[in-house]
Structure 1
Amino acid sequence: MSFYHFFVLSSLGLLTFIVVLWTRTLKKVLATMQGMVISMFFGMNVGLTAGVLLGVTYQGNLFLSTILSMAIGILAGSLCGLCFGLLSVLEGFMAGLMGGMMGAMVGEMIRADQSISLVQIFLFLSVSTLFIIPILATPKGSKVKSKKWILKPLTLAAIIIILMISGDSIAMRFEDQKAVLTKPNE
């Protein structure tokens, strides 16, 4: 595995940690159905991201990439749903399972250079869970009390942009190294 793979998988791990801590602190504010939505959305996106990444990495071994990506998606979705009860755990479990299977199949079918764009899109969707949580936690009919609320989404957007730019630069280095390694000796 390259540094790019480590970057994507560690980003998913850190994101899972953040989402689980955040949902745990908001479990009194969020309803069970909202917890199910969060765990399903997060489990599916993490499973898809890991699936595409591992499907390309282990091309030719669909079984291994499917099992690994399903395990990652199931773990992320189930941990996220744990705060909200059994239904949320089941929702996250099944969404992670399905996302991992679909991601591994897509990763098996595409070239490595195409996978970088897909991994970035799915990583962005996984990180966008951080936008969904505060939206779902907002009480119905609440009004904005100050204009400082704009700082939260702007800060989150800046973090996502930094994550995507750093992931893109790591991916480009990965592609350059792969091209040098696969170049025939002259």
Structure 2
Amino acid sequence: MGYYQLFILASITVLTLIIVILARKSKKIFNPMQGMITSMFFGMNIGLTAGVLLGVTFQGNLFLSTILSMSIGMLAGSLCGGYFGILAVLEGLMAGLMGGMMGAMLGEMINQEQSISLIRIFLIISITTIFLFFLLPHQKNQKSKNKK
């Protein structure tokens, strides 16, 4: 693995740590559906990013790249959903599994030059998960208390 691949994997790891910290802080203000949405979005995007990266890196070995990217996506999705309940964990786990499989197949089909721009796009989309923590707990989404 080269420096570029290690940089992307380190970026994914740091992003996962940031998302886990944000999920821990916002577990009281998110309802269960918002937690499921966040874990699914994050697991899918991390699985896709890691899948394309590993699919290009281990080109010709689809099994290895698929297993590794599915594991990374499932771990990221379940870590994010761990603070929101068991359904969010399952949602993140399955979205990470699906994203890892799709990313590995896509990485196997494209060449190295095309993969760099695609990985950058998927990494930026993965980073946008942070914005969900600020958009979802809006006052309109919260349950209103009865004034009686």
Q: What's the counterpart of residue 146 of structure 2?
A: none
Q: What's the counterpart of residue 78 of structure 1?
A: 78
Q: What's the counterpart of residue 52 of structure 1?
A: 52
Q: What's the counterpart of residue 138 of structure 1?
A: 138
Question: For the residues of structure 1 that align with 2:141 and 2:8, how far apart are their CA atoms?
Answer: 38
* TM-score normalised by structure 1 residue count: 0.75
Whether 1:111 and 2:111 are equivalent positions in the alignment is yes
AA of the residue aligned to 1:12: I
Larger gyration radius, structure 1 or structure 2: 1
Question: For the residues of structure 2 that align with 1:60 and 1:128, how far apart are their CA atoms?
Answer: 31
Q: Deviations over 1:132-156 (max 9, x none)?
A: 11101222189xxxxxxxxxxxxxx
The total of aligned residue pairs comes to 142
Question: For the residues of structure 1 that align with 2:8 and 2:65, how far apart are their CA atoms?
Answer: 15
Q: Deviations over 1:69-112 (max 9, x none)?
A: 00000000000000000000000000000000000000000000
> Structure 2 regions of 5+ residues with no counterpart?
143-148
Whether 1:19 and 2:16 are equivalent positions in the alignment is no
Query: Sequence identity of aligned pairs in percent?
Result: 64
AA of the residue aligned to 1:132: L
Q: What's the counterpart of residue 43 of structure 1?
A: 43
* TM-score normalised by structure 2 residue count: 0.94
Residue 50 of structure 1, CA deviation: 0.1
- Provide the aligned C-alpha RMSD in A: 1.1
Runs of 4+ in 1 over 4 A off after TM superposition: none
Question: For the residues of structure 2 that align with 1:140 and 1:79, how far apart are their CA atoms?
Answer: 27
